[in-house]
Amino acid sequence: MNYFCSTIITPQVEMMHKLQVAERSEIYIGEVAELLPRLLPERRTIVITDANIDRRYHSLLQQYEYIMIGTGETVKTMHTVETIYRKFIEAGIDRSCFILGIGGGIVTDIAGFVASTYMRGIDFGFVSTTLLGQVDAGIGGKNGVNVDRYKNMVGTFSQPKFVICDVGLLRTLPEREFRAGLAEVIKAGIIADKRLFEMLERTTFDALRDDTELLAKTVLAAVKVKADIVNRDEKETGERRKLNLGHTFAHAIEKCSSAMNHGEAVAVGTIIISRIAVKLGVLTEKDAARIVALFEKFGFETISPVTTRRMTNAIAKDKKTSGEFIHIVLPTGIGSCEVKRMRLSEIAAIVE
């Protein structure tokens, strides 16, 4: 194993798991929010957050200088980033300061991007407050913003010093948002952790929401999958692409329709790619059926709100599609997958 993982019991914090990503980023999982003061360096700290967090944790935020951004994918732009740069300049923020992103994936993507570009980089950390942020967006050092409808077109690879994944913070998440995070947990199981997938098959949506210890174990397992892959391929030259299972179709769905959030689109994208994998003969019908059944059990839609033609057109127009070819992640079993470079026309023909 490349990552370091330990379970630590301290008098202050009931139980926590600690993982290390890319040798310099520490991930704390459990009921660990109380660790924050100990993890923050003794430096001026500026928090970047949003109105939802302000509503829920106003008294916590009051202890810091903080900047609020709007909510929703539409705020993930260079405009928001520039607004923050200007506030930093006005407030005299420099490299001796520390930036703390508190929020879901949108906040941490923006906070990480601002911190890693302002004055060529300031140290930063995250408190991830959504399931999706804890198991995916906040982990692994990808930060960035969208350009028009092109997702994450501008960004950096820069690791947060720490990420706090306090599962207690997830209790107040709206059901739909919690479910969205589960899509990335299921994805982690499909690509690299059969035991995680089987555990999800045995449990229920309500059990995961209500049982803090079960949820902490689930988050830990999903983060381990990501940490392990990022530790081998931090800059996505190869294996890290596996984390994009289902994302080619998911991004196309999100580009063409606002009916689904990211996690919901990942669920549908993963189902589509599983069916393609069956047609290509790399996944059995039985395993594909298990994947669909698991998403169904957790209450996901399994049908795309966007036609096949529109999805493949959107993929073709995606700036990340190099020429006619795309890298597609194919599940090859429960707990295994492969990255294949395929012609888009070949994929489109199968989907049609």
Contact residues for ligand GLY, defined by CB under 6 A: 136, 140, 142, 240, 243-244
Told to judge if 58 belongs to the known catalytic residues of this protein, a careful annotator would answer no
Catalytically annotated residue among 217, 241, 244, 254: 244
CA-based max dimension of the chain: 59
- Min CB(114)–ligand GLY separation in Å: 18
Query: Which residues have a Cβ under 8 Å from the Cβ of 330 and sit 6 or more positions away?
Result: 273, 276, 277, 280, 282, 283, 337, 338, 339, 340
Residue closest to ligand GLY when measured from CB atoms = 243
Catalytically annotated residue among 18, 76, 151, 226: 226
Neighbours of 171 (CB within 10 A): 11
Residue number, 14 or 236, with CB nearest to ligand GLY? 236
- Min CB(136)–ligand GLY separation in Å: 5
Cα-flanking dihedrals φ and ψ of residue 262, to 5°? Answer: -60, -50
Q: Residues 219, 137: contact at Cβ < 8 Å?
A: no
Residue number, 165 or 243, with CB nearest to ligand GLY? 243
Q: Which two tokens stand for residue 8?
A: 């630590």
Told to judge if 327 belongs to the known catalytic residues of this protein, a careful annotator would answer no
Q: Which two tokens stand for residue 11?
A: 């008098």
Strands 325-333 and 162-166 turn out to be: unpaired
- Which helix H or strand E contains 109, and what residues bound it? helix 105-117
Catalytically annotated residue among 14, 34, 201, 236: 236
Told to judge if 149 belongs to the known catalytic residues of this protein, a careful annotator would answer no
Residue number, 36 or 101, with CB nearest to ligand GLY? 101
- Min CB(53)–ligand GLY separation in Å: 21
Q: Residues 109, 134: contact at Cβ < 8 Å?
A: no
Residue number, 191 or 271, with CB nearest to ligand GLY? 191
Residue number, 235 or 341, with CB nearest to ligand GLY? 235
Residue number, 209 or 247, with CB nearest to ligand GLY? 247
Catalytically annotated residue among 17, 18, 142, 224: 142
- Min CB(142)–ligand GLY separation in Å: 5
- Min CB(125)–ligand GLY separation in Å: 17
Angle between helices 175-192 and 262-279 (to 10 degrees): 30
Told to judge if 244 belongs to the known catalytic residues of this protein, a careful annotator would answer yes
Q: Which one-letter amino acid corresponds to residue 271?
A: I
**Distance between start and end Cα atoms, the chain:** 41
Cα-flanking dihedrals φ and ψ of residue 226, to 5°? Answer: -70, -45
Told to judge if 247 belongs to the known catalytic residues of this protein, a careful annotator would answer yes
Told to judge if 184 belongs to the known catalytic residues of this protein, a careful annotator would answer yes
- Min CB(122)–ligand GLY separation in Å: 21
Catalytically annotated residue among 209, 240, 241, 255: 240
Query: Which residues have a Cβ under 8 Å from the Cβ of 276 and sit 6 or more positions away?
Result: 328, 330, 347, 350, 351
Catalytically annotated residue among 184, 234, 254, 264: 184
- Active site members: 120, 142, 184, 226, 236, 240, 244, 247, 251, 262
